[in-house]
Amino acid sequence: MAHKCNAVCDESVVRNLVSKRHPDLAEKFDRFLLESYIEDNRMVKWCPSTPHCGNAIRVEDDEFCEVECSCGLQFCFSCLSEAHSPCSCMMWELWTKKCRDESETVNWITVHTKPCPQCHKPVEKNGGCNLVSCICGQAFCWLCGGATGRDHTWSTIAGHSCGRYKEDQAKKTERAKRDLYRYMHYLNRYKAHTDSFKLESKLKETILEKISISEERESILRDFSWVTNGLNRLFRSRRVLSYSYPFAFYMFGEEIFVDEMTNKEREIKQHLFEDQQQQLEANVEKLSKILEEPFDQYSDDKVTEMRMQIINLTVITDTLCKKMYECIENDLLGSLQCNTHNIAPYKSKGIEKASELAVCWNSKPSTTEKCVASDSGTSGKRDRPFGFGSSEDSGCPSQRRPKKETYGGVFFDISMPADVLHRN
């Protein structure tokens, strides 16, 4: 361009000029333009799948939501990690780091071992005698940690006293032991429900086989959708239950909210949350137990009775999940001064799936134009675009989340020309 030229050279002009001589460069320009648009828009993000599926997802009005890409990956749109509601993104980041690094290994070493006074390596006592020996050959007293000679006996103790109380060291050991036991409590229950979720995911094939067998029989019951509905409810409730334990670990611990609540307030809120957690856990286990029964071998009367039990438990678990989210958003996180912990809203229908953007575009003027419907969303209506994080779902709405500018919830293909992206 000439000096002091005020003409605007937009992407269409650049594309037409470059595509004549360097078509490959024009395609690269389109790709970089699309990537720049997605990276600069916080309501549009790439799917974090590995290997990358090449898809980007745009949400409707709330970035604190959980979505499912067309490749099948479910993830948190805010932090791009796995779906972790009701944990906030900060809680989940701290929890995964805590489970991944060696901080708890250090706690275990502090609780169950003592350092050798010569080589300073941790030594674990494997017998009843309090005179222990390190692999370096140094003998020391287990009670006080002081080095002794080989002639150390309880009748002649030279150079140190095993009866002296050291307050700082005792408090440090006791605190490490308490923190370790508390962490193991929440970790064991988190892993137990996560393992149950993985095993119950394999239950779907077995239940489908039982349904096919039951449909072939001459029975008064022909509709077995209540079984699949109960199974889907089991999956969602189990997932919520498993992630509720990392949430409780940080909500009622001293890592994040140490100055936000008094000990009395923390105790009251912990009892309130654990009561709801216990109710949900009991009903989830009941639903899991009933779904594993061989209903394909039962009589019609027993199948009818089982049907009513599953329908009732499905409604109960859904209601308990909603109440737990309401408790978290209103009574727990809602009462805090800091507003940095937002969670994805609970949806009775589960995590929403992305819908593909249908467009009409022509990348090359000389080729035949490819035209399909240009409405965004599954309903085909422009006045209400499909999106994620909407509070209109039958689940628990987020009352602490401000409304943002509405965007159409769409699914982008990376090969789409940038001018088409801006037109839509």
Closest CA to 352 of 310, 399, 392: 392
Question: For residue 376, how many C-alpha atoms fall within 13 Å in the half-sphere facing its CB?
Answer: 21
What is the Cα–Cα distance from 238 to 408, expressed in whole angstroms?
31
What is the Cα–Cα distance from 269 to 222, expressed in whole angstroms?
47
What is the Cα–Cα distance from 138 to 309, expressed in whole angstroms?
66
What is the Cα–Cα distance from 320 to 241, expressed in whole angstroms?
11
Q: Are 254 and 266 in contact (CB under 8 A)?
A: no
| Locus of tokens 């549009």 | 44
Angle of helix 203-216 versus helix 225-251 axis, rounded to 10: 160
**Catalytic residue (one of 9, 71, 119, 129):** 129
Residue 399 per-residue DSSP state: S
Closest CA to 323 of 86, 89, 88, 87: 86
| Locus of tokens 């409780």 | 248
Closest CA to 39 of 9, 80, 76: 80
Identity of residue 244 = S
Q: Is 134 designated active site?
A: no
| Locus of tokens 């949350």 | 273
What is the Cα–Cα distance from 416 to 424, expressed in whole angstroms?
12
Closest CA to 186 of 266, 100, 248: 248
- Which 3 state secondary structure label does DSSP give 49? coil
Structure tokens at 385: 């675009």
Structure tokens at 49: 């799948």
What is the Cα–Cα distance from 310 to 58, expressed in whole angstroms?
36
Sign of the dihedral through C-alpha 81, 40, 341, 178 = positive
Closest CA to 321 of 267, 268, 281: 281
Active site residues: 129
